[in-house]
């Protein structure tokens, strides 16, 4: 168990150090700009599609939102009843 935690911490430190060096290089700046542009475009496209879908099917969208609320409520109740079920519980 301690080996796994130590490995995770060391990997995080090494990854962070590498990124600090990488972000200042020309290739790092170029890569980060391309990644940001791609993610921005994908998120925007997803939001536009979701808005179009909600306008086309308003009743279904309301039903889905109601179901999502009920699922969150039931998950919260289960977490209170079964403590081991909580995320992050060991």
C-alpha–C-alpha distance, residues 10 and 5, integer Å = 9
Residue 17 lies in a domain: no
Residue 55 lies in a domain: yes
Which carries the bigger pLDDT value, residue 81 or residue 25?
25
pLDDT for res 88: 59
pLDDT for res 46: 77
Within 10 A of 30 (CB to CB), how many other CB atoms are there?
10
C-alpha–C-alpha distance, residues 24 and 37, integer Å = 18
pLDDT for res 64: 93
Residue 23 lies in a domain: no
29-64 pLDDT per residue, tens:
998 899 888 878 777 777 788 889 889 999 999 999
Residue 30 lies in a domain: no
Does pLDDT of 67 surpass 90?
yes
Residue 22 lies in a domain: no
Domain count, the chain: 1
- Domain of residue 84 covers 36-90
């Amino acid at each position: 168990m301690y080996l796994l935690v130590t490995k995770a911490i060391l990997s995080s430190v090494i990854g962070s150090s590498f990124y600090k060096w990488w972000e200042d290089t020309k290739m790092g700046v170029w890569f980060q700009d391309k990644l940001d542009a791609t993610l921005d475009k994908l998120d925007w496209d997803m939001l536009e599609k979701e808005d179009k879908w909600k306008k086309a099917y308003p009743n279904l969208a309301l039903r889905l939102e109601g179901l999502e609320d009920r699922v969150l409520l039931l998950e919260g109740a289960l977490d209170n009843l079964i403590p081991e079920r909580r995320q992050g519980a060991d």
